[in-house]
């Protein structure tokens, strides 16, 4: 199902912020301009917050596609395209299709799309070896059209759209007197050009005569057959060959399997492996969500499956990454945070620089590759830098971040200060938002030695608004602490205007907070003047204390 232009997902971290979203969009655009035809798609693994929504809406850019994981799915495997055949075709035609296509299983569909059943080469073989019933043509209601196709014949009397609907198949090799004791009404009689035998069969109520050897049929026989509603088919084959081949005209619907084990293109490979082991079929049909047949999946296909390919931006820690990352192939990591714990099977392009924003790194990559930055992309990158550096107030901000943002603002036609105020105002408006949304707006988990911490942050221009939500956040933190089994949960209420943070904390490691920070400690909270950056001013002190 996959092709040479396989999709590569460019993904930011969980609970994505403006830098994560805007960087994924901008980097996908860059890669699509320099990668020689590969398709890079920005993706997200969380809901977009109000601040990011403002930036996307301002520049009229669509949000990245939401995905839940990058686990390998059936659609990532090489699904063999197999033509669906109509249930009325003959066994012979089904066999020839299998032989020509080099396959052993055919999907069956009345409308050419919806899967109705399957027939395998084993089913066809069984029809030859195990079927001795000379009434099977009528049991299967075999169309005359199939008889003509298999026997390469023509119909002299009768309607090609009719079918064998009663009786048995009889070879009229005996004289008429003996034939009368064998022949029953509605039988199909295979015979030669003996006039008396043909006359006897019609008079006895035969449904159809199959005249072998390509021999002519008398006009009087044709006329009598018409009056008695008896069809006449003439075949160039001799009686032995006709008798041997006639069962090949049976429609495949008579032998098709309808109790199927079917996989959906969106099924996970980890879920289908066990099924494929337990059910020893050669091939399994794959359908889409409308039950339209896509193709066939063999057991051997699992050996050569192609993992989803991803590029990670603005993070490099497993706890912040998309689910199923261990099943994916990581191609690149572009980040500005501390080196985390993501492992790769082979070498990857890893770019990590001590700058205030991933967007600053990506802007430089545009320049290195001599790719012009469109106005919309420049606006997204500028917004990301302003957001991550808190309009250059964060200690993570470098001179290069500020210079880059100014250059991007010129391309985007922005008045930076006014845009930043509007962006922060949109992002800091907490009115009407549920506490869960506020908490997870920018929440990350960090592994520190044997400890695992969760640290969230909300920034606002309104200190009163932060004070108003404080108690609700603390209550919700206790819930998260229990449900996630973390050693501690911390939350930064960052006042942008006053450049300070009230750090809320829940957990058994209260001493860790007093060791890492100097500030006015209260129950479950400590006020940290001048602290606005999680990456630069909160995580490093905590990590230092844990390592000690």
The domain that contains 540 carries what CATH number? 3.10.310.20
Of 198, 201, 202, residue with least CA distance to 217: 198
Geometric angle at alpha carbon 46, from 44 and 49, rounded to 5°: 105
Do 334 and 289 lie in one domain? The reply is no
Angle between helix 18-34 and 358-368 (nearest 10): 20
Average pLDDT of the residues of the chain: 91
Of 185, 216, 219, residue with least CA distance to 200: 185
Q: Does residue 2 lie within any of the structural domains?
A: no
The pLDDT assigned to 343 comes to 87
The pLDDT assigned to 131 comes to 63
Do 528 and 515 lie in one domain? The reply is yes
Please tell me the distance from the alpha carbon of residue 387 to that of residue 389, in angstroms, as a whole number.
6
The domain that contains 203 carries what CATH number? 3.40.1390.20
The rounded percent of the chain whose pLDDT value lies above 90 is 66
288-324 confidence digits (pLDDT tens): 998 899 988 887 777 777 889 999 999 999 989 999 9
The pLDDT assigned to 225 comes to 95
Please tell me the distance from the alpha carbon of residue 57 to that of residue 45, in angstroms, as a whole number.
19
Do 117 and 187 lie in one domain? The reply is no
Q: Could you tell me where the beta strands, DSSP code E, fall in 336-397?
A: 349-352
Copy the structure tokens of residue 364. Answer: 């430089």
Q: Does residue 50 lie within any of the structural domains?
A: yes
Burial of 382 (0-12, 13-18, 19+ CB in 10 A): buried
Do 325 and 423 lie in one domain? The reply is yes
The pLDDT assigned to 236 comes to 97
Geometric angle at alpha carbon 398, from 60 and 385, rounded to 5°: 10
SS3 293: strand
Are 342 and 325 in contact by the 8 Å Cβ rule? The answer is yes
Would you place residue 5 in the very low, low, confident or very high pLDDT band (cuts 50, 70, 90)?
low
Are 17 and 442 in contact by the 8 Å Cβ rule? The answer is yes
The structure's pTM equals 0.70
Are 26 and 364 in contact by the 8 Å Cβ rule? The answer is no
466-476 confidence digits (pLDDT tens): 998 999 999 99
Please tell me the distance from the alpha carbon of residue 450 to that of residue 302, in angstroms, as a whole number.
37
Please tell me the distance from the alpha carbon of residue 234 to that of residue 210, in angstroms, as a whole number.
6
Do 219 and 244 lie in one domain? The reply is yes
Do 420 and 316 lie in one domain? The reply is yes
Region 519-536: mean pLDDT is 89
Do 274 and 172 lie in one domain? The reply is no
Alpha-carbon distances, residue 408 vs 93, 110, 357, 381, 430 (angstroms) = 65, 58, 14, 7, 29
Geometric angle at alpha carbon 73, from 69 and 78, rounded to 5°: 145
Do 260 and 124 lie in one domain? The reply is yes
Q: Does residue 135 lie within any of the structural domains?
A: no
Domain count, the chain: 4
Please tell me the distance from the alpha carbon of residue 390 to that of residue 399, in angstroms, as a whole number.
14
The domain that contains 356 carries what CATH number? 3.90.1640.10
Do 170 and 245 lie in one domain? The reply is yes
Of 347, 317, 309, residue with least CA distance to 335: 317
Angle between helix 375-388 and 358-368 (nearest 10): 150
419 pLDDT exceeds 90? yes
430 pLDDT exceeds 80? no
Geometric angle at alpha carbon 504, from 501 and 507, rounded to 5°: 150
Q: Does residue 344 lie within any of the structural domains?
A: yes
Region 220-246: mean pLDDT is 95
The domain that contains 98 carries what CATH number? 3.10.580.10
Backbone angle region of 80, left / alpha / beta, with phi > 0 → left and psi within -120 to 50 → alpha: beta
Please tell me the distance from the alpha carbon of residue 537 to that of residue 530, in angstroms, as a whole number.
9
Q: How many Cβ atoms are within 10 Å of 116's Cβ, its own excluded?
A: 18
Of 17, 13, 27, residue with least CA distance to 56: 17
Q: Which domain holds residue 98?
A: 76-129+254-304
Would you place residue 2 in the very low, low, confident or very high pLDDT band (cuts 50, 70, 90)?
very low
189-211 confidence digits (pLDDT tens): 999 989 999 999 999 999 999 99
353 pLDDT exceeds 50? yes
Q: Does residue 499 lie within any of the structural domains?
A: yes
Do 541 and 443 lie in one domain? The reply is yes
Q: Does residue 134 lie within any of the structural domains?
A: no
Q: Does residue 53 lie within any of the structural domains?
A: yes
Are 499 and 532 in contact by the 8 Å Cβ rule? The answer is yes
Listed residues 282, 304, 326: the one ending a domain: 304
Listed residues 304, 321, 346: the one ending a domain: 304
**Cβ-Cβ contacts under 8 Å for 323 (sequence gap 6 or more):** 45, 68, 69, 70, 71
Do 423 and 318 lie in one domain? The reply is yes
Phi, psi of 347 (to 5 degrees): -70, 145
Please tell me the distance from the alpha carbon of residue 326 to that of residue 318, in angstroms, as a whole number.
9
The pLDDT assigned to 151 comes to 96
Q: Could you tell me where the beta strands, DSSP code E, fall in 159-251?
A: 169-171, 188-191, 208-211, 231-234
Region 507-519: mean pLDDT is 87
Would you place residue 389 in the very low, low, confident or very high pLDDT band (cuts 50, 70, 90)?
very high
Q: Does residue 1 lie within any of the structural domains?
A: no
Chain position carrying tokens 């230092």? 544
Region 479-488: mean pLDDT is 93
Chain position carrying tokens 């196709």? 149
Would you place residue 34 in the very low, low, confident or very high pLDDT band (cuts 50, 70, 90)?
very high
| DSSP H or E run through 91 | helix 91-101
Do 449 and 348 lie in one domain? The reply is no
Listed residues 366, 399, 427: the one ending a domain: 427
């Amino acid at each position: 199902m996959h092709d040479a232009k396989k999709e590569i997902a460019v993904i930011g971290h969980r609970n994505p912020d403006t830098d994560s979203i805007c960087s994924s969009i901008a980097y996908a655009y860059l890669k699509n301009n320099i990668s020689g035809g590969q398709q890079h798609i920005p993706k997200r693994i969380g809901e977009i917050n109000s601040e990011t929504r403002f930036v996307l809406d301002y520049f009229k850019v669509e949000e990245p596609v939401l995905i839940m994981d990058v686990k390998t799915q059936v659609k990532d495997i090489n699904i063999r395209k197999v033509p669906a055949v109509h249930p009325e075709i003959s066994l012979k035609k089904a066999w020839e299709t299998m032989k020509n296509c080099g396959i052993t299983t055919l999907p069956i569909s009345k409308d050419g799309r919806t899967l109705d059943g399957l027939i395998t080469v084993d089913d066809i073989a069984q029809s030859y070896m195990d079927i001795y019933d000379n009434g099977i043509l009528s049991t299967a209601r075999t169309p005359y059209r199939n008889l003509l196709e298999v026997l390469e014949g023509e119909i002299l009397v009768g309607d090609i759209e009719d079918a064998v609907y009663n009786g048995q198949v009889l070879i009229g090799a005996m004289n008429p007197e003996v034939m009368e004791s064998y022949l029953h009404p509605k039988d199909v009689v295979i015979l030669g050009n003996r006039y008396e035998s043909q006359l006897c069969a019609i008079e006895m109520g035969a449904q159809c005569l199959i005249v072998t050897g390509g021999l002519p049929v008398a006009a009087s026989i044709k006329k009598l057959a018409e009056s008695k509603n008896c069809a006449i088919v003439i075949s160039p084959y001799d009686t032995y060959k006709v008798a041997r081949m006639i069962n090949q005209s049976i429609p495949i619907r008579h032998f098709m399997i309808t109790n199927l084990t079917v996989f959906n293109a969106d099924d996970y490979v980890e879920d289908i492996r066990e099924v494929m082991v337990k059910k020893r079929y050669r091939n399994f049909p794959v359908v889409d969500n409308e039950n339209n047949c896509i193709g066939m999946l063999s057991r051997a296909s699992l050996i050569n499956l192609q993992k989803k390919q991803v590029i990670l931006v603005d993070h490099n820690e497993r706890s912040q990454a998309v689910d199923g990352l261990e099943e994916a192939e990581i191609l690149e990591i572009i980040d500005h945070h501390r080196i985390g714990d993501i492992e790769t099977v082979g070498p990857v392009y890893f770019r990590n620089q001590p700058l205030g924003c991933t967007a600053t790194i990506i802007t430089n990559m545009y320049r290195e590759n001599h790719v012009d930055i469109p106005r919309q992309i420049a606006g997204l990158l500028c917004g990301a830098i302003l957001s991550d550096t808190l309009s250059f107030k964060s200690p993570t901000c470098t001179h290069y971040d500020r210079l880059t943002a100014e250059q991007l603002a010129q391309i985007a036609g922005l008045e930076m200060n006014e845009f930043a105020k509007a962006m922060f105002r949109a992002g800091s408006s907490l009115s009407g938002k549920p506490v869960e949304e506020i908490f997870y707006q920018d929440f990350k988990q960090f592994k520190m030695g044997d400890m695992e911490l969760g640290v969230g942050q909300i920034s606002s221009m309104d200190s009163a608004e932060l004070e108003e939500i404080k108690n609700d956040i603390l209550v919700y933190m206790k819930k998260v602490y229990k449900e996630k089994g973390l050693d501690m949960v911390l939350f930064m209420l960052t006042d942008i205007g006053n450049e300070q943070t009230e750090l809320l904390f829940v957990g058994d490691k209260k001493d860790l907070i007093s060791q890492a920070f100097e500030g006015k400690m209260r129950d479950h909270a400590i006020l940290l003047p001048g602290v606005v950056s999680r990456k630069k001013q909160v995580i490093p002190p905590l990590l230092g204390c844990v390592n000690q």
